[in-house]
Amino acid sequence: MRARENAHAPFSHFRVGAALEDAEGRIYTGCNVENATYGLTMCAERVAVLKAISEGARKFRRVAVVADTETLTPPCGACRQVLWEFCGDVEMVLANLGGKTETLRLGTLFPRAFDTSFL
Ligand code: THU
């Protein structure tokens, strides 16, 4: 929720926060960062993954995604692919500002993923 407050979303006004917890309990956060070209917008989840990887984290326990929606916001398709690459079938906590949460596995949202096992 705190990460979401830093969202740069002047075009959609849709603010998202994400957090990754690694195997040592360290937290890496992200928010969506939009761009005037629209297409270069980066989602909160991918910002958090890229921050974590660039800081040397490699094993992850949990991912949280927060948005201000009654129906909990799931990660977009691009973020599912990137999360799968680094977090595998990780626990995902979807939440809204009212405290509603749902916990599920990424594999539920992203079945039959393409990954390195095919290469
Ligand atoms: N967005 C995220 O950051 N994460 C999601 O899971 C869904 C969408 C962002 C991208 C864009 O800045 C805004 O939300 C509207 O799509």
| Predicted confidence (pLDDT) per residue in 82-115, tens digit | 999 999 999 999 999 999 999 999 999 999 999 9
Check if 47 has its Cβ closer than 6 Å to any atom of ligand 1.
no
State the catalytic residue, choosing from 5, 21, 34, 45.
Answer: 45
The protein residue whose alpha carbon is closest to atom 2 in ligand 1 is 43
Task: Report the SS3 class of residue 6.
Answer: helix
- Over residues 29-64, the pLDDT tens digits come to 999 999 999 999 999 999 999 999 999 999 999 999
Distance CA 93, CA 117 (A): 26
Q: pTM for this structure?
A: 0.97
Alpha helices of 8-57 — where are they, by DSSP H? 44-54
Q: Work out the burial of residue 81: count CB atoms within 10 Å of its CB; fewer than 13 is exposed, 13-18 middle, 19 or more buried.
A: middle
Cα-only R_g, the chain: 14
Q: Work out the burial of residue 39: count CB atoms within 10 Å of its CB; fewer than 13 is exposed, 13-18 middle, 19 or more buried.
A: exposed
Neighbours of 53 (CB within 10 A): 15
Ligand 1: residue of 12, 42, 65 to mutate (most ligand atoms within 8 A of CB) is 12
Is 45 in the active site?
Answer: yes
Q: For all residues of the chain together, what is the average pLDDT?
A: 98
- Nearest atom within ligand 1 for CA of residue 12: 15
The single-letter DSSP state of residue 76 is P
pLDDT score for 6: 98
